[in-house]
Structure 1
Amino acid sequence: MPKTYANLMQKFDDLGIKVSTIRHAPVFTVAEAQDLRGQVPGAHTKNLFLKDKKDNFFLVTVDEEAQVDLKTIHTRIGASSRVSFGKPEKLMEYLGLVPGSVSVLGVINDEEHQVKVVLDEALMHNEIINAHPLSNDATTSIGRHDLLRFLASTGHEPLILKIDESNPT
Protein backbone atom coordinates (compact mmCIF):
# COMPACT_ATOMS: atom_id res chain seq x y z
CA MET A 1 0.00 0.00 0.00
CA PRO A 2 1.50 3.38 -0.99
CA LYS A 3 2.42 5.82 1.70
CA THR A 4 0.04 8.69 2.40
CA TYR A 5 0.44 12.42 2.75
CA ALA A 6 0.52 11.89 6.53
CA ASN A 7 3.35 9.33 6.15
CA LEU A 8 5.30 11.81 4.02
CA MET A 9 4.85 14.63 6.54
CA GLN A 10 5.91 12.27 9.35
CA LYS A 11 9.07 11.42 7.40
CA PHE A 12 9.86 15.13 7.07
CA ASP A 13 9.25 15.59 10.82
CA ASP A 14 11.49 12.61 11.64
CA LEU A 15 14.25 14.18 9.54
CA GLY A 16 13.75 17.63 11.07
CA ILE A 17 12.79 19.02 7.66
CA LYS A 18 10.44 21.99 7.63
CA VAL A 19 8.11 22.19 4.65
CA SER A 20 5.00 24.17 3.83
CA THR A 21 2.04 22.80 1.90
CA ILE A 22 -0.91 24.52 0.32
CA ARG A 23 -4.05 22.75 -0.83
CA HIS A 24 -5.60 23.62 -4.18
CA ALA A 25 -7.84 22.18 -6.86
CA PRO A 26 -6.27 19.16 -8.57
CA VAL A 27 -3.90 20.10 -11.39
CA PHE A 28 -2.94 17.66 -14.11
CA THR A 29 -0.57 19.70 -16.25
CA VAL A 30 2.12 22.32 -15.80
CA ALA A 31 -0.18 24.82 -17.53
CA GLU A 32 -2.92 24.25 -14.94
CA ALA A 33 -0.42 24.50 -12.10
CA GLN A 34 0.87 27.84 -13.39
CA ASP A 35 -2.40 29.41 -12.27
CA LEU A 36 -1.02 29.05 -8.73
CA ARG A 37 2.03 31.24 -9.35
CA GLY A 38 2.27 34.09 -6.92
CA GLN A 39 0.76 31.98 -4.13
CA VAL A 40 3.73 29.62 -3.89
CA PRO A 41 7.29 31.01 -4.09
CA GLY A 42 10.21 28.97 -5.39
CA ALA A 43 10.86 26.74 -8.39
CA HIS A 44 7.97 24.70 -9.71
CA THR A 45 8.71 21.31 -11.18
CA LYS A 46 7.67 18.97 -13.89
CA ASN A 47 8.48 15.31 -13.60
CA LEU A 48 9.04 12.65 -16.22
CA PHE A 49 8.68 8.97 -15.33
CA LEU A 50 10.76 7.24 -17.99
CA LYS A 51 11.94 3.74 -18.86
CA ASP A 52 14.45 2.25 -21.24
CA LYS A 53 14.21 -1.00 -23.21
CA LYS A 54 15.81 -2.98 -20.34
CA ASP A 55 13.07 -1.79 -17.96
CA ASN A 56 15.32 0.58 -16.07
CA PHE A 57 13.16 3.36 -14.65
CA PHE A 58 14.05 7.02 -14.16
CA LEU A 59 12.31 9.93 -12.49
CA VAL A 60 13.57 13.14 -14.06
CA THR A 61 12.68 16.35 -12.22
CA VAL A 62 13.23 19.69 -13.94
CA ASP A 63 11.92 23.25 -13.69
CA GLU A 64 8.42 23.57 -15.13
CA GLU A 65 9.75 25.71 -18.00
CA ALA A 66 12.58 23.32 -18.91
CA GLN A 67 12.83 21.86 -22.38
CA VAL A 68 13.71 18.17 -22.34
CA ASP A 69 14.85 16.36 -25.47
CA LEU A 70 13.41 12.86 -25.09
CA LYS A 71 15.38 11.69 -28.13
CA THR A 72 18.74 12.32 -26.47
CA ILE A 73 18.12 12.33 -22.71
CA HIS A 74 19.09 8.65 -22.49
CA THR A 75 22.71 9.60 -23.22
CA ARG A 76 22.76 11.84 -20.14
CA ILE A 77 20.91 9.73 -17.58
CA GLY A 78 22.63 6.39 -18.16
CA ALA A 79 19.75 4.60 -19.87
CA SER A 80 20.56 1.54 -21.97
CA SER A 81 18.53 2.85 -24.92
CA ARG A 82 16.19 5.64 -25.88
CA VAL A 83 13.50 6.15 -23.29
CA SER A 84 9.74 6.24 -23.31
CA PHE A 85 7.22 7.12 -20.64
CA GLY A 86 6.70 4.46 -18.00
CA LYS A 87 3.29 2.85 -17.80
CA PRO A 88 0.83 4.00 -15.11
CA GLU A 89 0.94 0.52 -13.52
CA LYS A 90 4.69 0.82 -12.94
CA LEU A 91 4.29 4.39 -11.71
CA MET A 92 1.89 3.10 -9.06
CA GLU A 93 3.95 0.00 -8.29
CA TYR A 94 7.25 1.84 -7.81
CA LEU A 95 6.29 5.35 -6.69
CA GLY A 96 2.73 4.92 -5.42
CA LEU A 97 1.57 7.66 -7.77
CA VAL A 98 -1.01 8.10 -10.51
CA PRO A 99 -0.49 10.13 -13.71
CA GLY A 100 -0.90 13.83 -12.97
CA SER A 101 0.59 13.42 -9.49
CA VAL A 102 4.15 12.48 -10.47
CA SER A 103 6.55 13.97 -7.97
CA VAL A 104 10.10 13.51 -6.76
CA LEU A 105 8.58 12.99 -3.31
CA GLY A 106 7.10 9.71 -4.58
CA VAL A 107 10.44 7.99 -3.97
CA ILE A 108 9.26 7.52 -0.40
CA ASN A 109 7.38 4.53 -1.87
CA ASP A 110 10.34 3.10 -3.82
CA GLU A 111 11.73 0.95 -1.03
CA GLU A 112 13.25 -1.51 -3.53
CA HIS A 113 15.14 1.30 -5.32
CA GLN A 114 13.69 0.50 -8.74
CA VAL A 115 13.79 4.14 -9.90
CA LYS A 116 16.88 6.28 -10.50
CA VAL A 117 16.28 9.93 -9.59
CA VAL A 118 17.66 12.62 -11.89
CA LEU A 119 17.50 16.30 -10.92
CA ASP A 120 18.26 19.06 -13.38
CA GLU A 121 21.24 21.09 -12.20
CA ALA A 122 19.53 24.39 -13.08
CA LEU A 123 16.59 23.43 -10.85
CA MET A 124 19.00 22.85 -7.99
CA HIS A 125 20.15 26.50 -8.13
CA ASN A 126 16.82 27.43 -6.50
CA GLU A 127 16.60 27.70 -2.72
CA ILE A 128 13.00 26.39 -2.64
CA ILE A 129 11.63 23.57 -4.79
CA ASN A 130 7.93 22.81 -5.07
CA ALA A 131 6.48 19.37 -5.65
CA HIS A 132 3.21 17.50 -5.24
CA PRO A 133 3.06 15.71 -1.87
CA LEU A 134 1.93 12.40 -3.47
CA SER A 135 -1.25 13.89 -4.94
CA ASN A 136 -1.99 16.71 -7.34
CA ASP A 137 -4.32 18.65 -5.05
CA ALA A 138 -1.51 20.21 -3.02
CA THR A 139 1.95 21.69 -3.43
CA THR A 140 4.74 21.26 -0.90
CA SER A 141 7.68 23.66 -0.73
CA ILE A 142 10.99 22.22 0.44
CA GLY A 143 14.49 23.66 0.62
CA ARG A 144 16.88 22.23 -1.97
CA HIS A 145 19.30 20.91 0.67
CA ASP A 146 16.40 19.37 2.57
CA LEU A 147 15.20 17.71 -0.63
CA LEU A 148 18.62 16.11 -1.02
CA ARG A 149 18.52 14.95 2.63
CA PHE A 150 15.06 13.49 2.08
CA LEU A 151 16.20 11.64 -1.05
CA ALA A 152 19.25 10.27 0.75
CA SER A 153 17.05 9.07 3.61
CA THR A 154 15.05 6.99 1.12
CA GLY A 155 18.23 5.48 -0.34
CA HIS A 156 18.04 7.54 -3.53
CA GLU A 157 21.21 9.46 -4.32
CA PRO A 158 20.12 11.59 -7.25
CA LEU A 159 22.11 12.29 -10.34
CA ILE A 160 22.31 16.06 -10.77
CA LEU A 161 22.77 16.70 -14.47
CA LYS A 162 22.14 19.32 -17.12
CA ILE A 163 18.82 18.23 -18.59
CA ASP A 164 17.17 21.53 -19.56
CA GLU A 165 17.89 22.16 -23.24
CA SER A 166 16.76 25.81 -22.95
CA ASN A 167 19.30 26.65 -20.26
CA PRO A 168 22.77 27.41 -21.67
CA THR A 169 24.64 26.78 -18.36
Structure 2
Amino acid sequence: MDATSAHQDSLPISSDALLARLHDWGLSYRLHTHVPLRTVEDSQAVEHEFMVPGEKALRIKNLYLRDKKKRNYLVTLEQTRDIDLKALAAELGGGTLSFGSADRLMEHLGIRPGAVSPLAMINGAESGVTFYMDAAAKEAEVIYMHPLVNDRTVAMSRADTMAFFDRIGVTVHWLP
Protein backbone atom coordinates (compact mmCIF):
# COMPACT_ATOMS: atom_id res chain seq x y z
CA MET A 1 0.00 0.00 0.00
CA ASP A 2 1.10 3.53 -0.61
CA ALA A 3 0.98 6.51 1.74
CA THR A 4 -2.03 8.24 0.20
CA SER A 5 -5.39 9.00 1.78
CA ALA A 6 -6.93 6.18 -0.29
CA HIS A 7 -5.31 3.79 2.22
CA GLN A 8 -5.72 5.87 5.38
CA ASP A 9 -8.18 3.44 6.94
CA SER A 10 -5.37 0.90 7.29
CA LEU A 11 -3.46 3.27 9.60
CA PRO A 12 -3.80 3.15 13.41
CA ILE A 13 -5.21 6.69 13.22
CA SER A 14 -6.56 7.79 9.84
CA SER A 15 -5.84 11.22 8.42
CA ASP A 16 -9.54 12.04 8.70
CA ALA A 17 -9.54 11.02 12.39
CA LEU A 18 -6.45 13.15 13.04
CA LEU A 19 -8.05 16.17 11.37
CA ALA A 20 -11.21 15.63 13.42
CA ARG A 21 -9.13 15.55 16.63
CA LEU A 22 -7.35 18.77 15.67
CA HIS A 23 -10.74 20.38 15.13
CA ASP A 24 -12.13 19.00 18.41
CA TRP A 25 -9.09 20.32 20.27
CA GLY A 26 -9.65 23.80 18.79
CA LEU A 27 -6.48 23.69 16.69
CA SER A 28 -6.81 25.48 13.36
CA TYR A 29 -5.33 24.37 10.07
CA ARG A 30 -5.69 24.87 6.34
CA LEU A 31 -6.00 21.61 4.44
CA HIS A 32 -4.62 21.22 0.92
CA THR A 33 -4.99 18.15 -1.27
CA HIS A 34 -2.52 17.41 -4.04
CA VAL A 35 -0.65 14.68 -5.87
CA PRO A 36 1.32 12.36 -3.58
CA LEU A 37 4.53 14.03 -2.41
CA ARG A 38 7.37 11.67 -1.60
CA THR A 39 10.41 13.95 -1.66
CA VAL A 40 11.42 17.54 -1.01
CA GLU A 41 11.65 17.99 -4.78
CA ASP A 42 8.05 16.77 -5.17
CA SER A 43 6.94 19.27 -2.54
CA GLN A 44 8.82 22.16 -4.08
CA ALA A 45 7.13 21.45 -7.42
CA VAL A 46 3.61 22.02 -6.04
CA GLU A 47 3.93 24.21 -2.95
CA HIS A 48 3.33 27.37 -4.99
CA GLU A 49 -0.26 26.12 -5.43
CA PHE A 50 -1.12 26.52 -1.75
CA MET A 51 1.50 28.65 -0.01
CA VAL A 52 0.39 32.14 0.97
CA PRO A 53 2.67 34.85 -0.43
CA GLY A 54 4.51 36.73 2.30
CA GLU A 55 3.71 34.14 4.94
CA LYS A 56 6.68 33.26 7.14
CA ALA A 57 6.34 29.52 6.61
CA LEU A 58 8.44 26.53 7.51
CA ARG A 59 8.48 23.82 4.88
CA ILE A 60 9.92 20.67 6.32
CA LYS A 61 11.54 17.32 5.71
CA ASN A 62 11.38 14.52 8.23
CA LEU A 63 13.74 11.73 9.16
CA TYR A 64 12.72 8.63 11.07
CA LEU A 65 15.94 7.36 12.66
CA ARG A 66 17.06 4.62 15.01
CA ASP A 67 20.29 4.18 16.95
CA LYS A 68 22.17 1.04 17.95
CA LYS A 69 20.41 1.03 21.32
CA LYS A 70 17.12 0.72 19.40
CA ARG A 71 15.95 4.21 20.38
CA ASN A 72 13.68 5.82 17.80
CA TYR A 73 13.76 9.45 16.74
CA LEU A 74 11.66 11.67 14.52
CA VAL A 75 13.71 14.62 13.31
CA THR A 76 11.96 17.52 11.55
CA LEU A 77 14.15 19.96 9.66
CA GLU A 78 13.71 22.93 7.36
CA GLN A 79 13.41 21.24 3.96
CA THR A 80 16.59 22.66 2.41
CA ARG A 81 18.79 22.13 5.45
CA ASP A 82 21.71 19.79 4.89
CA ILE A 83 22.13 17.13 7.51
CA ASP A 84 25.17 15.13 8.55
CA LEU A 85 23.99 11.98 10.33
CA LYS A 86 27.26 11.65 12.28
CA ALA A 87 26.94 15.21 13.58
CA LEU A 88 23.25 14.66 14.29
CA ALA A 89 24.08 11.48 16.25
CA ALA A 90 26.48 13.51 18.38
CA GLU A 91 23.80 16.19 18.90
CA LEU A 92 21.28 13.53 19.97
CA GLY A 93 23.81 11.95 22.31
CA GLY A 94 23.51 8.54 20.76
CA GLY A 95 25.63 6.28 18.64
CA THR A 96 25.40 5.65 14.95
CA LEU A 97 22.04 6.54 13.41
CA SER A 98 20.31 4.70 10.61
CA PHE A 99 16.98 5.13 8.89
CA GLY A 100 14.18 3.09 10.37
CA SER A 101 12.55 0.43 8.22
CA ALA A 102 9.05 0.72 6.78
CA ASP A 103 7.86 -1.88 9.30
CA ARG A 104 9.30 0.07 12.23
CA LEU A 105 7.88 3.29 10.83
CA MET A 106 4.41 1.76 10.91
CA GLU A 107 5.00 0.18 14.33
CA HIS A 108 6.28 3.34 16.02
CA LEU A 109 4.69 6.23 14.09
CA GLY A 110 1.68 4.59 12.46
CA ILE A 111 2.49 5.82 8.96
CA ARG A 112 4.06 4.66 5.71
CA PRO A 113 7.20 5.93 3.97
CA GLY A 114 6.45 9.16 2.16
CA ALA A 115 4.10 10.47 4.85
CA VAL A 116 6.56 11.08 7.70
CA SER A 117 5.39 14.10 9.65
CA PRO A 118 5.53 15.71 13.09
CA LEU A 119 1.81 14.95 13.33
CA ALA A 120 2.74 11.24 13.44
CA MET A 121 3.88 11.87 17.00
CA ILE A 122 0.22 11.29 17.89
CA ASN A 123 1.29 7.63 17.59
CA GLY A 124 4.99 8.10 18.36
CA ALA A 125 4.34 9.57 21.80
CA GLU A 126 2.94 6.24 22.97
CA SER A 127 5.79 4.30 21.32
CA GLY A 128 8.60 6.20 23.00
CA VAL A 129 9.78 8.06 19.89
CA THR A 130 11.84 11.13 20.76
CA PHE A 131 11.01 14.22 18.72
CA TYR A 132 13.54 16.79 17.51
CA MET A 133 12.66 19.92 15.56
CA ASP A 134 14.74 22.47 13.73
CA ALA A 135 14.98 25.68 15.76
CA ALA A 136 13.90 27.49 12.56
CA ALA A 137 10.34 26.52 13.58
CA LYS A 138 10.56 29.04 16.43
CA GLU A 139 10.62 31.83 13.82
CA ALA A 140 7.88 30.47 11.55
CA GLU A 141 4.32 31.73 11.55
CA VAL A 142 3.05 28.58 9.84
CA ILE A 143 4.35 25.02 9.53
CA TYR A 144 3.39 22.89 6.54
CA MET A 145 3.19 19.13 7.15
CA HIS A 146 1.41 15.95 6.07
CA PRO A 147 -1.55 14.78 8.17
CA LEU A 148 -0.37 11.12 8.17
CA VAL A 149 -0.80 10.76 4.38
CA ASN A 150 1.24 12.23 1.53
CA ASP A 151 -1.52 13.56 -0.73
CA ARG A 152 -2.61 16.13 1.84
CA THR A 153 -0.78 18.97 3.54
CA VAL A 154 -1.94 21.03 6.47
CA ALA A 155 -0.73 24.50 7.27
CA MET A 156 -0.83 25.09 11.03
CA SER A 157 0.29 28.09 12.99
CA ARG A 158 3.38 27.55 15.11
CA ALA A 159 1.25 28.15 18.22
CA ASP A 160 -1.29 25.49 17.23
CA THR A 161 1.50 23.08 16.29
CA MET A 162 3.08 23.51 19.73
CA ALA A 163 -0.36 23.15 21.35
CA PHE A 164 -0.74 19.84 19.49
CA PHE A 165 2.53 18.57 21.00
CA ASP A 166 1.41 19.70 24.47
CA ARG A 167 -1.94 17.97 23.98
CA ILE A 168 -0.32 14.62 23.15
CA GLY A 169 2.42 14.92 25.79
CA VAL A 170 5.39 15.34 23.45
CA THR A 171 8.45 17.33 24.44
CA VAL A 172 9.99 19.16 21.51
CA HIS A 173 13.78 18.99 21.58
CA TRP A 174 15.23 21.85 19.54
CA LEU A 175 18.08 21.43 17.07
CA PRO A 176 20.22 24.53 16.56
* TM-score scaled by length of structure 2: 0.87
* TM-score scaled by length of structure 1: 0.90
Match of 1:138 among 152, 157, 175: 152
Question: In the TM superposition, what whole-angstrom CA distance separates every residue of 1:57-111 from its partner, at most 9, and x where no partner exists?
Answer: 00000111111111110111232x0211011111001111111111111111235
Corresponding residue of 2:140: 126
Residue 50 in 1 paired to residue 65 in 2?
Answer: yes
Corresponding residue of 1:67: 82
Q: How is 1:6-85 mapped onto 2 (pairs within 5 angstroms)?
A: 6-41=16-51, 42-79=57-94, 81-85=95-99
Unaligned runs of 5+ in 2: 1-10, 52-56
Unaligned runs of 5+ in 1: 163-169
> Contact 2:109–2:127 at 8 Å: present in 1 too?
no
Which one has the bigger helix percentage? 2
Question: In the TM superposition, what whole-angstrom CA distance separates every residue of 1:115-158 from its partner, at most 9, and x where no partner exists?
Answer: 10100001331110000110100111011111111012111111
| RMSD, aligned α-carbons | 1.3
Match of 1:104 among 98, 110, 118: 118
Distance 1:150 1:71 in 2: 30
> Contact 2:125–2:170 at 8 Å: present in 1 too?
no
Distance 1:103 1:111 in 2: 13
Distance 1:137 1:65 in 2: 21
Q: How many residues align?
A: 161
Distance 1:118 1:27 in 2: 22
Q: CA deviation at 1:2?
A: 1.0
- Percent of aligned pairs with the same amino acid: 34
